[in-house]
Amino acid sequence: GDSVTQMEGPVTLSEEACLTINCTYTATGYPSLFWYVQYPGEGLQLLLKATKADDKGSNKGFEATYRKETTSFHLEKGSVQVSDSAVYFCALSDRAGGTSYGKLTFGQGTILTVHP
Amino acid sequence: GAGVSQTPSNKVTEKGKYVELRCDPISGHTALYWYRQSLGQGPEFLIYFQGTGAADDSGLPNDRFFAVRPEGSVSTLKIQRTERGDSAVYLCASSEWPGQGYEQYFGPGTRLTVT
């Protein structure tokens, strides 16, 4: 079955540091890949997505590239801010047999804390 | 506009009791999903509705769990004979249409605690 593995956390950084959160996946079909973010006290929200190999998703200074050869979708940001402190989830939505209805499979989440 | 809402936000119940969790999706969204998030874990899929019908209930853990969406809008997740292991945050999400290309919008969740 489908699965998503994220790097062990939590991650603690100083403001303006570089961020990488690793994500690898296993899928039987043709997945789309996502990063969701959960800010303190708020619900899950989509951060970025990529729908096919070599696509790059980007939003709010975050980027992730869909790497089919390494089955990875690592999240990166060049300079983090205190306001980026949140829990980040990598997820996939598979399309097996040509059909998909959007069911998401999530990784376990990575807690990011950014200090001033 | 209004997002996905879930009620109650918190529910504490005793082991063996019955609970209902409600989800109000974004108006006009045809697809509705339920997920369960245990402490320190990512959300896990429970059930998906397309309109009024449950198109995939493969994530429901056992027959104590049941969900309905009678008019194709509001959905209720029902748990019978609750167990302590059912304690988790139950998330609802909706999207305009089903499929990989449509963003799922999540509600704030219902935190269920079974004592």
Tell me whether residues A101 and B40 touch, CB distance under 8 A: no
Q: Distance from CA of residue B115 to its chain's centroid?
A: 20
Which among A42, A89, A103 is the nearest to B48, CB-wise? A103
Q: Is the pLDDT of residue A63 over 80?
A: yes
Q: Do A42 and B42 touch (CB under 8 A)?
A: no
pLDDT in tens, A22-33: 999 999 878 999
Contact B102 A102 (CB under 8 A): yes
Q: Report the distance separating Cα A10 and Cα B85, nearest Å.
A: 25
Q: Is residue A2 within 8 Å of residue A94, measured between CB atoms?
A: yes
List, as ranges, residues 35-74 from A with C-beta within 8 Å of B. Answer: 36, 42-46, 49, 51
- To the nearest 10°, report the CA torsion of A41, B103, B91, A82: -20
Which three-class secondary structure string do you get for B18-70?
CEEEEEECCCCCCEEEEEEECCCCCCEEEEEEECCEEEECCCCCCCCEEEECC
Q: What is the pLDDT of residue A1?
A: 82
pLDDT in tens, chain B (115 residues): 589 999 999 999 999 999 999 999 999 999 999 999 999 899 999 999 988 888 889 999 999 999 999 998 999 999 999 999 999 999 999 998 877 778 899 999 999 999 9
Q: Would the pLDDT of A97 be above 60? A: no
Cβ B1 vs Cβ B29: under 8 Å: no
Nearest-5° angle of CA B74, CA B78, CA B81?
170
What mean pLDDT is predicted for residues A66-78? 97
Q: Which two tokens stand for residue A53?
A: 């190999």
Identify the residue among A104, A105, A108 best suited for mutation to test binding to B, counting B beta carbons within 10 A and taking the highest.
A104
The two structure tokens encoding residue A102:
């959007």
Percent of chain A with pLDDT strictly greater than 70? 96
Contacts of residue B3 in chain A, CB cutoff 8 Å?
43
> Could you tell me which residues come within 8 angstroms of residue B71 by beta carbon, excluding any fewer than 6 positions away?
B52
Provide the token pair at A34: 């996502």
A44: distance to nearest CA of chain B, Å? 6
